[in-house]
Structure 1
Amino acid sequence: MTGDKPMDQSDVADESESETSEVYASLAEQRYPISSYTPVAYDNLEAAPETDDYPDTGSGGRFRELTLPKVPKLRHVVGPSAIMLGASLGSGETLFWPHLVASYGWGLYWLFLVAVCLHFIVNTEIQRWTLATGESVFRAFERVHPILPLAMLLGGFISLGWPGWAASAAQIGAEGLALGTYDLAGVEIVGWRLFGIALMVFIWVTYQVTPLMYNVVESLQLVLVALSIAFTLLLFVLIGSVDVLVGVPGSLTEVGDYSPVGTIAVLVGALAYAGAGGYLNLSQSLWIREKGYGMGRYQGRIKNPFAGDDPETVHEDGFAFTPDTQNLKRWRGWWRVTQLEHLLTFLLGLLLVTTMLVVIAVSQAPGATSDAVDMWLIEIVPSVGGLATSVIYVTLFLALFTTEYAIIESFVRNSSDIIYELYGRDAGWSLPRLFWGLLTVFCGWGILILILPISIDDPFGLLVVGAAMSGLLMWPYIVIVQLVNAVRLPEHTMPGWGRVAAMWVAAAFFGYFSVLLIGTGLATQLGLGTFAVRTTLLGSAPGGYALWTIYLLVQAYTMYRVGRAKVAADGTVAEAATAQGWFS
């Protein structure tokens, strides 16, 4: 016998408490009032070995080895998903889906439910690389090939480069305030255009009031989102559509006629905007880096170059953690808290707001024939009157302005990251100055469009074009994100089989509707009938069959590469199961 003292319950409790303290941060260690950052002596860190335990570097530089930070409380990391929710409110949730369901029936609401759940999966997979390495998703794409982030930049400008949301918010706000036409230095400017210019200036000014520009974006978006939800609830109470809400389950079996060609672009846009969509979704990677999620806490943030402290260094190559027991438990904790943050903020927020607005639209404008903006202002406003009218104007304005704010933030942050990593870093540029310059140019571009005497009498048309382009952008990057996460990450941080299958479904879903949009557009808009496609695939024209073939080949290749990588990685990292789950 030995003289060791047997462990009693207090010993077990002490051991459990000690283990927990090594995984979860105490209140003193949280350091997440808005954003969290830990500076490191980057050049003195050991380079991570190029083994199965660490991410594949691809064509980029080596990762530096550091310990994964402790896991904070959920309430301390809320923010990135709130910005994403704000980006969603003024597009699909306020305009596209209420209009589509009111026009074509509750059968389309099933597509919304599927799309928003797939957005949740896609968005959290976009977070994965940044959580594990600190690098942005665009840097991950660059490690595959530099053309990929450049293609995302081009697609982002095509889809978001026109101030459709600012124009829509301005028109609604100006109408609600009864703004007319004004004479400025002999030039007549319609009130809504002037109001739109004021909104763009306001957005630009907000970035100048804090050293860390992300902080003001997060804080203001949290306020705008909270107001949008509050006014939506108030509108629902005032209009009293409870009977329609109760009848929703039975109405889901209804199938409307949404076969007209003109509806396909709106439908694809609605699917993309069932949660921000397109270029906007990719911002989730950069927002969690700014917030300090996971290894992003070491990577660096973008500070205002003209306010506050000296800018921080944003490192080119990221970090990797040793897969020991402590880090594996921390990874599992980080993954859980980030999923909860996105679920409770983004997914539930979208379901709540969209369902209430859809119910209102169906009850007040069944079979709506005008576009989404006119449905609210011409068909619904006259039928409700009184206080409800004012609430409609405020709700629409808040949703559209919140989205425009998020679009400017997303486009500038994504684009500055891409340009800096592809060209600016080697040229000796400053990332904060590049960000500030792009912000100024993009806001100025929006103001120029609003000033010039060009016809944007139909801002909803701009939204449809941008939404459709966002939908087309999603299919390729969903495929690339799968290949990056499953092929280049080690076993303990790569997605579980449940998520792999969900991403296969997401790629198939958005790819299918992308082919429908491309084929229909080529056949109807350019007169290339040989590319005509059918929803059942059968009966498509020869060019249409070629499009379907490309779609199926891409899907098959992706499933093969990802599945093979998952099987090959099995058992390559000791204790990987500690960090993994079926849907991790």
Structure 2
Amino acid sequence: MPTSQRGTDLPPAHGALPPWSVADLPAPPPFSIRNAFKVIGPGAIMAATSVGGGEWLVGPAAAVKYSAAIFLVATVAIVLQVLFNLEAIRYTLYTGEPIYGGILRLKPGAKFWAAFYSILGFFQLGWPALAGSAAATLLGAAMGRMPGAPEQATQGWIASGLIVAVVLILSFGGTIERMLEQFAWTMLAVVFGFLVVVNVLFVPAAHWWQTFTGFFSLAGLPQPMDWALIGALAATAGSGGMGNLTVTNWLRDKGFGMGALVGAIPSAVGGHEITLSHVGTVFPTTPANMARWRDWMRYVQVDQVWVWGLFCFVGMFLNVNLATAVIPHGTDLQGLAAGAYQAEYLSRVWKGFWFLTLFNGFWVLFKTQLGNTDILVRTITDAVWMASPGARAASNIRTIYYGVLVTFSIWSAVVIQSASPFQLFKILANMAGVVLMIAGVQIFIVNRRFLPPAVRPPLWREAGLLLCAAFYAFFVYFVARDLLRGWF
């Protein structure tokens, strides 16, 4: 029986994909702080991916150029992206499908949106910017100076080695989500431990307060404004586009809500028994199911607000706080100059800080390259898996995932040899704003059309979702305007 005829407590329509199955919502563990640490995880993966190029490259560059007084932009961006994430996750908790499943159900149809987001994902994440930056940082840590033109070939080969390392990491763990989660918690501990120590040792207390107030006030945008830089800051202060959507894939694979009944993408090694349905499962909104729903939402709030959102804010704050304390105001930070300045300044106290600072920067960038690779590959994989019966008949989800991963890795190893990592990152960052602008409106439509009234968001959250789309449309407009002016 079509879902539209099953009753008002089930989805009123199923759109361009087949109807969902129906089952009761699995119960989460009783809510407690101890259980929260067992249940959460996708927020940590997202934080490990998010605290990367934005904090290491864009944040310090914008702060040193304009001062921390403009960083209300970053605070608003993080708050709006938290809301964006929660509303995308709402669909996944109810159906077990990533939010891409809801988007594929919209007109003009699944194949159109599968192709659209695969292409959009490639334009945002198909450039190995952070592998190149991580390679330069690692090489600089070993050499005692930042690499220049004579070391470009060596840097390219190191970047290619890091791309191979990403493939190996994503090949183990039972499920890819599980391996990413374990890696994420470790890297967050290493990176944030270092940042806290150097901020405490080298930044005066008064400067901490000055930086903090800059995240919650805005005296006006300085002129002339580098809109590409500020647009990149607004996007990468959080997860930046495709990452915000892909958190729903990780939640499904982790088994949140109805995701426990759908399956996961298995790793190449150790994931032989895992299957993944191409269509989700929904639950009738009975009192028992709604009580479980509220408990799941509490875990989601912890995962997204107190793990992902908090780590994003603290990561940006600590990097900006350190950069503005040790780098002269107005310095033009291109490429990896922020890390080089910080490493040089700290090494005046102890030479070992040169290596430690850049080695920390390497992990910041490498873990983000790891996460971004998975985001792009699983976006294409899930889109193909849900939209194409032919692909499902010809192959399994694991073969598709690793086929896309190997293809992308070969492309990355080629393109990293001939392009500037910093210029590649600017492409990545500004395309993220385009994704957030479009997907914000689509999530609003998906939740309105496919969720029964009992699990739909309140009006204020729908308004916040549209505000998020408008916020990024603002930056997309000015970046596009400056780009067109440069051309003509």
Could you state the TM-score of these two structures normalised by the residue count of structure 1? 0.76
Q: 1:397 aligns with which of 362, 368, 373?
A: 362
2: CA distance between counterparts of 1:352 and 1:383? 22
- Structure 1: give runs of 5+ residues left out of the alignment: 1-44, 181-187, 528-584
1:178-257 correspondence runs (5 A): 178=143, 190-248=153-211, 255=219
3-state SS of 1:367 partner: coil
The equivalent of 1:260 in structure 2 is 224
2: CA distance between counterparts of 1:253 and 1:65? 48
The equivalent of 1:411 in structure 2 is 376
3-state SS of 2:71 partner: helix
3-state SS of 1:221 partner: helix
The amino acid that maps onto 2:266 is K
1: CA distance between counterparts of 2:455 and 2:254? 20
Instruction: Indicate how the Cα distance of structure 1 residues 525 and 493 shifts in structure 2: closer, same or farther if over 3 A, else same.
Output: same
Structure 1, residues 159-207: CA drift from partner, whole Å, max 9, x if none? 1111100000100110111199xxxxxxx97332222122111111123
The equivalent of 1:323 in structure 2 is 285
Contact 1:81–1:346 (8 Å) recurs in 2: yes
User: Which of the pair is proportionally richer in helix?
Assistant: 2
Q: 1:440 aligns with which of 403, 406, 421?
A: 406
The amino acid that maps onto 2:15 is G
3-state SS of 1:236 partner: helix
2: CA distance between counterparts of 1:207 and 1:247? 41
The equivalent of 1:388 in structure 2 is 353
The amino acid that maps onto 1:392 is T
3-state SS of 1:300 partner: coil
1: CA distance between counterparts of 2:318 and 2:425? 22
Deviation at 1:377? 4.0
2: CA distance between counterparts of 1:309 and 1:81? 22
1:282-431 correspondence runs (5 A): 282-304=245-267, 306-308=268-270, 310-385=272-347, 386=350, 387-423=352-388, 424-425=390-391, 427-431=393-397
1:531-546 correspondence runs (5 A): none
Contact 2:175–2:253 (8 Å) recurs in 1: no
Q: 1:460 aligns with which of 402, 410, 422?
A: 422
1: CA distance between counterparts of 2:437 and 2:289? 33
Q: CA RMSD in A?
A: 2.5
Aligned residues: 472
3-state SS of 2:476 partner: helix
**Greater RCO, 1 or 2 (C-alpha within 8 Å, sep 6+):** 2
Instruction: Indicate how the Cα distance of structure 1 residues 239 and 249 shifts in structure 2: closer, same or farther if over 3 A, else same.
Output: closer
The equivalent of 1:473 in structure 2 is 435
Structure 1, residues 110-152: CA drift from partner, whole Å, max 9, x if none? 1111000111111111111111001121111111132223211
Whether 1:525 aligns to 2:476 is no
The equivalent of 1:173 in structure 2 is 138
Q: 1:53 aligns with which of 6, 9, 13?
A: 9
Deviation at 1:297? 0.4
2: CA distance between counterparts of 1:421 and 1:254? 44
Contact 2:3–2:10 (8 Å) recurs in 1: no
The equivalent of 1:533 in structure 2 is none
Instruction: Indicate how the Cα distance of structure 1 residues 483 and 512 shifts in structure 2: closer, same or farther if over 3 A, else same.
Output: same
Deviation at 1:255? 3.9
The amino acid that maps onto 2:208 is L
3-state SS of 1:492 partner: helix
Could you state the TM-score of these two structures normalised by the residue count of structure 2? 0.90
**Which is higher, the Rg of structure 1 or of structure 2?**
1
Structure 1, residues 62-105: CA drift from partner, whole Å, max 9, x if none? 22111101122312222101111111111222221222122112
Deviation at 1:404? 0.3
Q: 2:241 aligns with which of 268, 274, 278?
A: 278
1: CA distance between counterparts of 2:373 and 2:473? 27
Identical aligned pairs, as a percentage? 25
Instruction: Indicate how the Cα distance of structure 1 residues 70 and 479 shifts in structure 2: closer, same or farther if over 3 A, else same.
Output: same
3-state SS of 2:274 partner: coil
The equivalent of 1:94 in structure 2 is 56
The amino acid that maps onto 1:217 is L
The amino acid that maps onto 1:191 is T
